[in-house]
Amino acid sequence: MSVYAAILMVGAGSLLAAGEEGGLLVHAPAGSIRGVPAPDGDYVMFLGIPYARVNASNPFGAAIPHEKFDKTFEASTESAVCPQMKKIFTNRNSDRYDGTLDCLRLNVFVPKTETKHRGVYIFVFGGKFVEGDSKLSSYGPKYLVRHDIIVVTFNFRSGPYGFMCADIPEIPGNQAGRDQYAAIEWVRDNIRAFGGDPGRLTLGGHSSGAQLVDMHLLTERPRLFRRAILQSGTTLGPDFLGPSDPMALVDIAGTLGFETNDTSAALSFLAEASPEAVVEATVKYEWRPCVEKKFPGVVPFVAENPEFSEGRNVDGLDILGGFTDREYAFTWYFSDYRHLYREPDSFRYTLEQKFNLWDESDLVDIVRRFYVDDDGDRDIVKDDTVDLLSDFAYAYPMQRQLMKYAKHPNSSVYLYVFSYDGCRNRMKIIFNITDTGATHSDELGYMFTMDLIPEMDDSRDRRMIDRLTTLWANFVKYGEPTPARTALLPVVWPPLTADTVPALRLDADLTVISRPLRSRMAFWDLFYDAHLDKLRY
């Protein structure tokens, strides 16, 4: 009998005991776990369950499996946060450290219904590979669990602890992906005890979280989930890959006052150093996934540039993905990005995130002229630049990747464009953005409750919440977002085919459109085909 089969039997046995204490106490293969009733709906919250342990001797490398609980685990407090600088959106100078290495924890949200084999939606938060957490204050599941699915959110390491690529077998890179894999394994092995169906897991994410979900489609490891949701992020995005850095350990140790040229001495020193010191010493670093060097006995997460990957884990996978209509509209309001408009070389800077164009001034000009007219009018340049940045970072990589995936056998691939403009558009609220349309992360306000956005009873917004969460939950349950026409969802959202690219526009109305941004996407098709030999990594 395989280990997996044995685990399934244990899981099935424990199902009999599920639901004790009104659903608060479950007996899972990981041990007994007691949750707490949700304050805002008919569901139970199991908070802060440890799914793995960071190795104290090597906090940058593989996590250690968590031992079985010997007494009931009280899952009543929110997950700790992994080490990071918490961004204060409105004033970067007041960013502050938060976190602990005892952070590999997950939350399980279970509706109080009799259903035994629910679809499970595992959500991966975004945060540019350096920050983020799974707290209720950012990702409250109330709107999603109403649809009788289980929602799982979890922490994983980011920054130096999650993305150091040191080119050694102990720190091969992409540790965050390995943490995530461990979390998904935990869900597969334990979710039956919560009334979930381990054969119906959906892994979804937003922004860098979506990029990491896409990363799971490229790994050689067996795929543990049946469906994937990619919101505004794929591995083809220009900010996905970065270089490896064999000197990282030695350099960071040096910054903290320990001069050495020996990698293992630096690792021992940094393992003892406080995570706060390590994070603060590396705030200037750009942490990203990397193409791993191959080592015997180490299964790589990213083995090649995703542009050349066949997507070996895509066969038989259902995928839902898309972007917002004005992804980059926030840049104008965000000091970190304002330089993109001012600097004469901002177009070069943008393109060079993905392509080496150092002797290609003509090419940069062609891109500039495709998007921006000769007219120097500030508002027009601004809108045109938003289009360029949005296409290059989000819309084109998403469409390119989904069209590639749609060619796989037995895969249904659904594309959306979110353009709704309401009172819960997340980024627009953070920055008081008055542009029309939807900018990056705006759709999250219609998926999750969050402290940032007070709940107001607005009937338009309420309908968008109902629509978006019903579409997503249908996909989690059935693998298709519109299995039947209803008053709420009076559309049929067709998947991509070899020669058609339909998309659902999520706005005040739901509309099926064809080939969003057709001519702009064709421009990038030609650009990519001509310059794939110039990829940076």
CB of 317 vs ligand NAG, minimal distance in Å? 9
Q: Choose which of 2, 93, 94, 261 interacts with ligand NAG (CB under 6 A).
A: 261
Question: Which residues lie across from 26 on neighbouring strands?
Answer: 33
**Displacement of CA 135 from its chain's centroid (Å):** 15
Q: Is 207 a catalytic residue?
A: yes
Secondary structure (3-state) at 107: strand
Residue 488 touching ligand NAG (CB under 6 A):
no
Give whichever of 256 and 491 is closer to ligand NAG, judged by the CB atom: 256
Segment interacting with ligand NAG (CB under 6 A) among 56-64, 296-304, 459-467, 469-477: 56-64
Secondary structure (3-state) at 110: strand
CB of 65 vs ligand NAG, minimal distance in Å? 9
Residue 17 touching ligand NAG (CB under 6 A):
no
Residue 305 touching ligand NAG (CB under 6 A):
no
Question: Mask of contacts with ligand NAG, 208-247, x by CB under 6 A?
Answer: ----------------------------------------
Give whichever of 64 and 513 is closer to ligand NAG, judged by the CB atom: 64
β-strand pairing of 196-206 with 227-231 = parallel
**Displacement of CA 264 from its chain's centroid (Å):** 32
CB of 355 vs ligand NAG, minimal distance in Å? 33
Distance CA 363, CA 523 (A): 12
Give whichever of 57 and 76 is closer to ligand NAG, judged by the CB atom: 57
CB of 178 vs ligand NAG, minimal distance in Å? 12
Give whichever of 72 and 90 is closer to ligand NAG, judged by the CB atom: 90
For the record, the structure tokens of 330 come out as 């926030």
**Residue 504: what are its φ and ψ, rounded to 5°?**
-95, 125
Give whichever of 160 and 397 is closer to ligand NAG, judged by the CB atom: 160
Residue 287 half-sphere exposure toward CB, CA atoms < 13 A: 29
CB of 91 vs ligand NAG, minimal distance in Å? 9
Give whichever of 322 and 495 is closer to ligand NAG, judged by the CB atom: 495
Residue 166 half-sphere exposure toward CB, CA atoms < 13 A: 24
Give whichever of 69 and 89 is closer to ligand NAG, judged by the CB atom: 89
**Residue 137: what are its φ and ψ, rounded to 5°?**
-70, -20
Segment interacting with ligand NAG (CB under 6 A) among 154-162, 179-187, 259-267, 273-281: 259-267
Q: Choose which of 260, 305, 353, 356 interacts with ligand NAG (CB under 6 A).
A: 260
- Helical residues (DSSP H) of 75-207, grouped into ranges: 142-145, 159-163, 175-190
Give whichever of 255 and 260 is closer to ligand NAG, judged by the CB atom: 260
Residue 528 touching ligand NAG (CB under 6 A):
no
Q: Choose which of 13, 37, 199, 316 interacts with ligand NAG (CB under 6 A).
A: 316
Residue 259 touching ligand NAG (CB under 6 A):
yes
Residue 94 touching ligand NAG (CB under 6 A):
no
Q: Choose which of 55, 255, 353, 356 interacts with ligand NAG (CB under 6 A).
A: 55
Segment interacting with ligand NAG (CB under 6 A) among 55-63, 184-192, 380-388, 389-397: 55-63
Kindly report the three-state secondary structure assignment for every residue of 22-83: HHCEEEECCEEEECEECCCCCEEEEEEEECEECCCCCCCCCCEECCCCCCCEECECCCCCCC
Cα-Cα-Cα-Cα torsion 443, 446, 449, 450, nearest 10 degrees, comes to 30
Q: Choose which of 102, 315, 458, 509 interacts with ligand NAG (CB under 6 A).
A: 315
Q: Choose which of 74, 98, 167, 170 interacts with ligand NAG (CB under 6 A).
A: 170
For residue 438, give the amino acid letter: A
Distance CA 493, CA 479 (A): 12
How many residues bind ligand NAG, per CB under 6 A?
A: 16
Residue 440's CB is within 10 A of a number of other CB atoms, namely: 26
Question: Mask of contacts with ligand NAG, 402-441, x by CB under 6 A?
Answer: -------xx--------------------xx---------
CA distances to 28, 283, 353 from 84, in Å: 31, 9, 24
Secondary structure (3-state) at 361: helix
* Angle value at C-alpha 227, between 487 and 404, nearest 5 degrees: 100
DSSP codes of every residue in 253-292: HHHTT---S-HHHHHHHHHHS-HHHHHHHTTTS-----PP
From the candidates 79, 134, 207, 390, which is the catalytic residue?
207
Residue 268 touching ligand NAG (CB under 6 A):
no
Distance CA 414, CA 406 (A): 9
Q: Which residues are catalytically annotated?
A: 207
List residues binding ligand NAG (CB under 6 A): 55, 57-58, 61, 64, 90, 170, 259-261, 315-316, 409-410, 431-432
